[in-house]
Amino acid sequence: MGTVPSPSASELTLNIENNPEGAVVHCAGKITATSTGLLQEQVRPLIPNAKRIVLDLAQVNYLDSSGLGAVVRLWMTAKKADCEFKVSNLTPRIKDLFSLTNLSSIFENVEHAGM
């Protein structure tokens, strides 16, 4: 049973690339209060069966506080499931946002999207 994202959630597109270790989730657009539901509903089900999830933010041009919260919630869920959760390819603006909010310490191993 699939769900159709609301029109406001179309500001974010996700392309999930599965591999033997887990998945790389390529995000494009904006991660905001209107699109965090889509991010959560697509990524959270991947966690229980994955050793590693990489959230590729190369094409994300805007991330608000709700988006930051969603990324942290996914990280917490992954940590509880013993799944490694990383973010990669941060734009300079988003990298600064992670630094300003002290989230860079949680995501200290920011890397390129490859597994």
Note the pLDDT tens digit of each residue in 40-82: 999 999 999 999 999 999 999 999 999 999 999 999 999 999 9
In the predicted model, is pLDDT for residue 9 greater than 60?
no
User: With contact defined as beta carbons under 8 Å apart, do 19 and 47 qualify?
Assistant: no
Would residue 98 count as lying in a domain?
Answer: yes
pTM above 0.75, yes or no: yes
Q: How many domains does the chain have?
A: 1
Residue 5: pLDDT band with limits 50, 70, 90:
very low
Q: How do strand 12-19 and strand 84-88 relate by DSSP bridges? A: unpaired
Give the CATH number of the domain where residue 43 resides.
3.30.750.24
Residue in this structure with the two tokens 């949680």, named with its chain if needed: 106
State the residue range of the domain holding 28: 21-105
For residue 14, which amino acid is it? L
Which pLDDT value is given to residue 107? 76
Each residue of 74-115: pLDDT tens digit? 999 999 999 999 999 999 999 999 989 988 888 755 554 444
